Structure 1
Amino acid sequence: MEAREIRIKGIVQGVGFRPFVYRLAVRFGIKGNVLNDTEGVLVVAEGESKTLDNFIRAIREEAPRSAVIREVITKPTERTGASGFSIIRSEHRGGEVTAISPDLATCDDCLSELFDPGDRRYGYPFINCTHCGPRYSIIEKLPYDRPSTSMSPFNMCENCRTEYEDVLDRRFHAQPNACAVCGPQYELLDGQGHSVECENPIEETCNLLIAGKIVAVKGIGGFHLMADALNKHAIDALRKRKKRPAKPFALMVADIGTARLFCRISDSEAEILRSPAAPILLFEKSDTPGYRLPETLAPGLDRLGVFLAYAPVHYLIFALSGLPVLIATSGNRRDEPISCDNEEAIRALRGIADAFLVHNRDIVGRSDDSVGFVFESDMVIVRRSRGYVPRPIELPISGKPLLAVGADLKGTFALTRGNEAFLSPYLGDLAGEKSLELFEEVLERYLNWLKIEPEAIVCDLHPDYVGTIEAEKLARKWRVPLYRIQHHFAHGLSVIAEYGLPDEACLTIALDGHGYGEDGTIWGSEFLLTHYGGFERLAHIYNIPQPGGDKAAVDVRRMALSWGYAAFGEEVIGRFPELVKKLGNKTEPLLNIIRENRRPSTSSAGRLFDAVACLSGICCENTYEGECPQRLMAAVDYTERASYDFDILEMTLDPRPVIRQISVDIGNNFLPGKIAAKFHRGFANAITEMASRLCEEKGVEKILLTGGVFQNTVLLELTAESLRDIGLKLHWNKVVPPGDAGIALGQALFGLATED
C-alpha cells in the first residue's frame, strides 16, 4: 500500500469533478479524500501502486465533459489510514488559483425533469446540476462553493440538501442547486418597472410575446430583448426603439430541427450548436418552401445568426408560447454593455421593452452571447463571451504575470499567469463610459480571482486609444513597465499564440478596417514578417486619403470617391455619375480634400470593401460596423468565375486597376452580384500572388491570416484555397476572434517575449 497526493489543475471546479473522483475511488477501492482549493482539486489517495496508476489514468481519460484538465501533478505523501473515501470541505489557501468554469447550457437530464409533470422541479426555470447551469456568472470569489456565489442568500430546503449531500446524486455538491421551494424566482414587471400581478410570470410573458410585444428577459449572463421573429410589426418596433435600422438580430430556437427549416446546417455545425457553450452561429439561409423568415431580421444579408435555447427559462417560453423562433438580442442600449442588474435594465431598456421578466439571483459576471461561424468543420469565434470565458488559453511561453489591455473597439483584456492567458468577456467599445467602467470592474474581479499582480502592461501603439490611456494610468499606479505594440503585429501574434507556434518567422496577412501605423498613417492591409519580438512591414495596399477620417468609415461614399479619384483623377465625376449624384453638393469639398492629399491616409482593406460595395450600388452607409462589406459578401454571384486584376508594384498591392474594371462593368450593366464575385476572387488572387513572392523572398512557408476582414467567409475560403495550392501552410484565428477582440492575446505573447 502507498499514498499519493494528486493535484489537478484546470477547469475542474463547478463541473462535478469531486463527485466524479469520489465515484472513481469507490470503483477502484481507493481510500482517502478529495477537496476543492484555490489551486484546483486536491486528492489524497491510498492503495496498491498499480491501482493508483489506473485511478490516475481514469481521472484523465474519463473526466466530466465540461472539465478541462491542464495539469496533473502527483507526489508521495504520508498514509492517513483512512477507512474509506470522502469529499471534505474546501480549503482557502494563498497562491495560484484554479480556472473557473464558463456557464453551461442546460443538459438533457435537466430538460427531461423540467418537462416531467411527476418531477418536483417540473417547470422550475432555474433547474441545474453538476453538468449544467450558471458558473462564471454567479461566482464572487474562489474556491467555488455556494457561500462564494450569488446563490448564498438561498438556503437549500431539505430535499435539495439531501441531493447535495448524496454522492450518487447528479446534484452532489452542485452549488447552484435549488427548487421552487427554496430557490430563485421570476417576477414580471411592466414597461415602467412596476410589478405585474399574475399567477405565472413566464406564461404571462409568453402571452405578451404572442401579442407582438417586446420583453426584456433576464437569463444567465444578462438580459435579452425578446420578440416574435415572425411578427413584422414587432421587428419594426424593436428596430425603431433600439435605433438599429439594419443590424441583424440573433434568433433563438428550441431545437436543431426548427433551425434547419430556415438555415443550412451541417452535422459539425449542429454539434457546436448543441455544445455546453451554446454559441450563436452564422448560417446560410435556406430556401425551404414556406419557411422564409422576414427579410427585416437581417436586411441585405445571406446569413442568419442562430442559437439554441440554453437556459431553462428559454425552453419554458418556447413550450408555453408555441412560437417557433424568437429574436433574442442583447438587452442594452447602443454602445453600452449588456444589462444584468434589474434596476439597471429598467433604466437602460425603459422605452424599448414593453415588459421585464426579472429574477432575484444576482448576475455577478455579465456576458453577452458568444458568436462564431464554422469554417472547414472548426468554429471561428467572432465574439468570445458566454460559454467560453474565463477559460484560459495556453501560450507557447510563460513568464511574469502581465496585463494586455487589447484594442478600443470590441474591448477585451488579457491577464497572464505562467503560460496561461485569461481573456475577459466582450466588453463593448471602450470609448463608451459604461464600457470603460465595465473594463475596470471585470479587471478588478479577475485580479482578485487569479491572485496575481501584473508586473508589466501591454497596450496598442495608438496614443489616443482609451485602452492606451488606461494602460498609462495603471502603469504609473502599479509602477510597472508599459510596452506598446503595433495593432496588426498583435493580430499576427494572436494566431501564433493560439497555435503555440515556435519563435520563427511567419508571414502575417492582417486585413481590417484600421490600426495605427508606425508612420502615423492608418494601416489595414498588412503583410508582415512576424516573430515573437518584432516584425518587418513587407507590403500593403496602395495608400489613399480617407476624407473626413472616421466619418469615412460610416459614410462610405467618401471612400468610393477617394478610390475613384485614385483610379481616374479628375475624370471620376464622369466615370461614376451615380456616386456623384448621391454625394450632391458634398462632391467638390471632398474632392478638394482628396486632391490636397490631406491626412489621414489609409491602406485599409476594410475601407476598400466599403468603396466597392458603394460603387457597385449595394450599400453606401455602415449603419453598423461592417455592414457594407457584409452586404457585398452576401451579394456574391457564385456562378461568376472571372476576377478583377490588381497590380503588384514592389511593396504595394494596387487596387486602382480594379476600380477601373468596375467602372467598365457598371457601364456594361453588370449586376452587383457579379461585381462582388469578381472583386472577391481578384482580391484572393492578389493576396496569394503577393504572399508567394514574399515567402520566396524571405524563405518562410507559414501564413497567418487575421484581422476582421477574414470574418468574410467568401474571402477566407478563396484565399485559403489558393494559398494551399501553392504549398503554403495556413493558420487563422479560431479560439479568439480574428477582429480586434482577439488582439489582447497577441499583446500578451509580445509582453511575455519582451519581458523574457
Structure 2
Amino acid sequence: AVMVADLEEARRHCQIDKAEEKLLMSPGSPIVLMKWKSDSNITQAVAPGLKYLGIMLPYTPLHPLLLKETGLPLVMTSGNLSEEPIAKDNDEALRRLSSIADYFLMHNRDIYARYDDSVMIVEKGIPRFTRRARGYAPYPVRLPFKSKQILGCGAEEKNTFCLTRDNYAFVSQHIGNMENLETLEHYVNTIDLYKKLFRIEPEVIAHDMHPEYLPTKYAKELADKEKIKLVPVQHHHAHIASCMAENGIREPVIGVSLDGTGYGTDGHIWGGEFMAADIKKFDRLAHLEYLPLAGGAQAIRKPYRTAIGYLLALGIGLDKNLPMFKYLEKPELEIIKEQVARGINTPLTSSMGRLFDSVAAIIGARGIIQYEAQAAIDLEMLAYIAPDETGSYPFSYEAHGGMNVIKLHDLFVAIIVDILKKTPEAVIAARFHNTVARMILETCQIISSKTSLNRVALSGGVFQNRLLLRIIVPLLESADFEVYTHRQVPCNDGGISLGQVAIANFSEG
C-alpha cells in the first residue's frame, strides 16, 4: 500500500468517490483499494498488472513528519518476513529484519498487540473488508441470538479467531496464515489476551473439519486439556453462517460458497458449493464437478498443472498451440498424464478458485503464481479491458439423486475454440466472468424451485472479485432474490471464525 500526505494527493493517483473519501478519512484509517489513474506517477512496480491501488492516509503523528521530510508517497508494508507475525519489539525487529531493512526507526513506546493495517474496498456503495485488523478489531459483531461463551478457532489461511458472549461476537484482528510456530505462538497469545480483555471462558470450542490445520490441532488439544465440548464445522457452511450472522438472518437461505479450498464432508476438496442452509445445518444441493489437482499443492502454485489435469480428466485433447504450453517442458507433461491416469497425488476438487486458475493458465495469462489468487486476479484485470462484452460459455448439469453437478466440459471446449480463433484474452476473460455469474443465477433458480427459498447469501474468497460481485448482485436481484453479502467481516477465510461460533452455538450434544 502507499501512504500519501492528504486527500488531495490521493486524488492525483486514484479515482475517489464520496464513499471511498469517507472511508479514507474515517477514524479506522484503512488501506482503501481504489481505481488507479493512468497518469499517476507511482510506478506500476508497486502493484504489477493491477488496476486498483491501495492508498492510506497518515494515522499516527509520526507519519506526517516522515511524509514532510520525503515529499513523496511512501510504500508501506508490515515489519515482518513473509508469513511471519509482525515484529513487535525493537530488539526483535533488529534480529528478524536486519537482512531486509537498511534502516530502523526506533521508538520508546512499547507495542502491546500486533495489528496489521485493515484493507477495504467500496463496492455497490458499501465498504467491505478484505482484511479486518487495526481500527476495527475487536469491535464486536452483534449477533441475531444470545450466544454461549464460545471460541471459534478459524481457518488455516487468513486466520482470525472469534470469542462470543451474550449477543456479541469478538472477531480478532487478522492473524495470517497458520504455517509456522511463530504465527501459532502469536495466535495463542492473542486468544489469551482476548479472553482476559472480555472476561470470556469458552464452554464450547469450534474448529474447521480439516484434521491437519494448526487451529484444528490447537482446538483439540485445548478441549482435551480443559474438558470443553468440541464442535467440528464444515468450512463452506461456516462461510454462509458468517454471512447470515453479520446480516442478522436466522431463516434458511440459498448459500453460495465459492473459494479455493475447504475440507468437504466426503473427504474431497470443496470450493464451488451451493446449499440450502441455516445457522444450524446445511444441505449441499449443487457443486462444480470433481476434477483432479495434478500434484496437489503444486497445482495451486502452478495453475497450468491444474488446467492440464482438468482437460485430461474431461477427455479434451491437449492442443500444443494453447498458450499454457509455454510454461512446461515435455517430461513434466508426461508426468502429469501419468498422475491423472493412475490417480497418483491428484486429490479431487470442486473448487471455483481452481476453475479461475485453470482458465487463466489456458489463455496464457498466468501459469505460475507468486502469491495466493494471483492467476484469478489477473483474469479479473483482463476482463476489465472488455467492459461491453456480454457473451458467455456453455455449461451443463447432471443430476445425481438430489444433487446437481455442474459439468465443465462444454465450457473448456468453447474457451479453447476462442483461443484458437485468436479471440482476445480480455474478451475470453469477460465471457468467463459472465459465465460464472450465469452459473450462480441458474443454480440458485434450480434450488429455489425445489426449496421455495428466495434469500441468497454470497460468501467465500471468490467474491473478493469486484467484477463478479457487481455482475451477480443485480442479476440475482432482477430475478427476485434477496441478496446478502459481507460488510462487517471479510468474505474470505478471515470471516470463517464468526460462522464457526454461530454454528457451534446451536450444536446439539
TM-score, L = length of structure 1: 0.65
Report if aligned partners of 2:477, 2:483 keep a CA contact under 8 Å in 1.
yes
Q: Which residue identity lines up with residue 389 of structure 2 in the other structure?
A: E
Report if aligned partners of 2:292, 2:313 keep a CA contact under 8 Å in 1.
no
User: Of the candidates 71, 83, 86, which is equivalent to residue 335 of structure 1?
Assistant: 83
After superposition, what is the alpha-carbon deviation per residue over 1:81-121, rounded to whole angstroms, capped at 9, x for unaligned?
A: xxxxxxxxxxxxxxxxxxxxxxxxxxxxxxxxxxxxxxxxx
Distance 2:310 2:472 in 1: 23
After superposition, what is the alpha-carbon deviation per residue over 1:388-442, rounded to whole angstroms, capped at 9, x for unaligned?
A: 0111111111132110000011111001111111111111111221110001110
User: Of the candidates 264, 275, 283, which is equivalent to residue 26 of structure 2?
Assistant: 275
Q: Which residue identity lines up with residue 266 of structure 1 in the other structure?
A: D
Report if aligned partners of 2:254, 2:455 keep a CA contact under 8 Å in 1.
yes
Q: Does 1:663 align with 2:380?
A: no
Unaligned runs of 5+ in 2: none
Residues 428-507 of structure 1 correspond to what in structure 2 (within 5 A)? 428-502=176-250, 504-507=251-254
How much does 1:641 deviate? Answer: 2.1
- Aligned residue in 2 for 1:515: 262
Identical pairs, percent: 38
- Aligned residue in 1 for 2:47: 298
- Aligned residue in 1 for 2:328: 583
Distance 1:735 1:271 in 2: 17
How much does 1:576 deviate? Answer: 5.0
Aligned-partner SS, 1:356: coil
Distance 2:390 2:508 in 1: 50
Report if aligned partners of 2:324, 2:363 keep a CA contact under 8 Å in 1.
no
User: Of the candidates 375, 385, 395, which is equivalent to residue 646 of structure 1?
Assistant: 395
Report if aligned partners of 1:397, 1:752 keep a CA contact under 8 Å in 2.
no
Aligned-partner SS, 2:76: strand
After superposition, what is the alpha-carbon deviation per residue over 1:320-343, rounded to whole angstroms, capped at 9, x for unaligned?
A: 2211x1100111101101122111
Q: Does 1:402 align with 2:153?
A: no
Q: Does 1:627 align with 2:378?
A: no
- Aligned residue in 2 for 1:593: 339
Aligned-partner SS, 2:53: strand
Report if aligned partners of 1:645, 1:686 keep a CA contact under 8 Å in 2.
no
After superposition, what is the alpha-carbon deviation per residue over 1:485-544, rounded to whole angstroms, capped at 9, x for unaligned?
A: 100000000001101112x21011000001000000000010011112110000000110
User: Of the candidates 69, 74, 94, which is equivalent to residue 346 of structure 1?
Assistant: 94
Residues 193-212 of structure 1 correspond to what in structure 2 (within 5 A)? none
- Aligned residue in 1 for 2:286: 539
How much does 1:293 deviate? Answer: 2.3
- Aligned residue in 1 for 2:362: 615
Residues 200-279 of structure 1 correspond to what in structure 2 (within 5 A)? 250-279=1-30
Report if aligned partners of 1:575, 1:663 keep a CA contact under 8 Å in 2.
no
Distance 2:69 2:42 in 1: 22
Distance 2:44 2:325 in 1: 29
Aligned-partner SS, 2:375: helix
Distance 1:331 1:576 in 2: 45
Aligned-partner SS, 1:355: coil
After superposition, what is the alpha-carbon deviation per residue over 1:708-744, rounded to whole angstroms, capped at 9, x for unaligned?
A: 0000001111111211110100001111010111000
Distance 1:647 1:429 in 2: 36
Q: Does 1:693 align with 2:441?
A: no
After superposition, what is the alpha-carbon deviation per residue over 1:455-488, rounded to whole angstroms, capped at 9, x for unaligned?
A: 0100001111111100000001111110001000
Q: Which residue identity lines up with residue 46 of structure 2 in the other structure?
A: L
Q: Which residue identity lines up with residue 679 of structure 1 in the other structure?
A: F
Structure with higher Rg: it is: 1
How much does 1:379 deviate? Answer: 0.9
How much does 1:259 deviate? Answer: 1.4
Distance 1:558 1:552 in 2: 5
- Give the RMSD, CA atoms, in angstroms: 1.3
Distance 1:678 1:399 in 2: 44
Distance 1:747 1:500 in 2: 15
How much does 1:668 deviate? Answer: 1.1
Unaligned runs of 5+ in 1: 1-249
Distance 1:300 1:366 in 2: 30
Aligned-partner SS, 1:639: coil
Aligned-partner SS, 1:586: helix
How much does 1:582 deviate? Answer: 2.3
TM-score, L = length of structure 2: 0.96
Report if aligned partners of 2:448, 2:454 keep a CA contact under 8 Å in 1.
yes
Distance 1:338 1:411 in 2: 14
Q: Which residue identity lines up with residue 286 of structure 2 in the other structure?
A: A
Distance 1:254 1:644 in 2: 46
Q: Which residue identity lines up with residue 20 of structure 2 in the other structure?
A: E
Distance 1:725 1:577 in 2: 38
Report if aligned partners of 2:322, 2:419 keep a CA contact under 8 Å in 1.
no
User: Of the candidates 415, 425, 430, which is equivalent to residue 672 of structure 1?
Assistant: 425
User: Of the candidates 550, 570, 573, which is equivalent to residue 297 of structure 2?
Assistant: 550
Distance 1:713 1:648 in 2: 27
- Aligned residue in 1 for 2:486: 733
Distance 1:382 1:259 in 2: 20
Residues 38-437 of structure 1 correspond to what in structure 2 (within 5 A)? 250-288=1-39, 291-323=40-72, 325-437=73-185
Point out the more displaced range, 405-414 or 593-602. 593-602
Distance 1:256 1:568 in 2: 55
Distance 1:309 1:595 in 2: 56
May I ask how many residue pairs the two structures share in their alignment? 501
Distance 1:483 1:617 in 2: 43
After superposition, what is the alpha-carbon deviation per residue over 1:168-191, rounded to whole angstroms, capped at 9, x for unaligned?
A: xxxxxxxxxxxxxxxxxxxxxxxx
Q: Which residue identity lines up with residue 457 of structure 2 in the other structure?
A: L
How much does 1:581 deviate? Answer: 4.3
After superposition, what is the alpha-carbon deviation per residue over 1:594-647, rounded to whole angstroms, capped at 9, x for unaligned?
A: 123444100000011011111111111121011111111011121322112222
How much does 1:567 deviate? Answer: 3.9
Aligned-partner SS, 2:77: strand
Report if aligned partners of 2:321, 2:420 keep a CA contact under 8 Å in 1.
no
Report if aligned partners of 2:34, 2:53 keep a CA contact under 8 Å in 1.
yes
Distance 1:703 1:567 in 2: 31
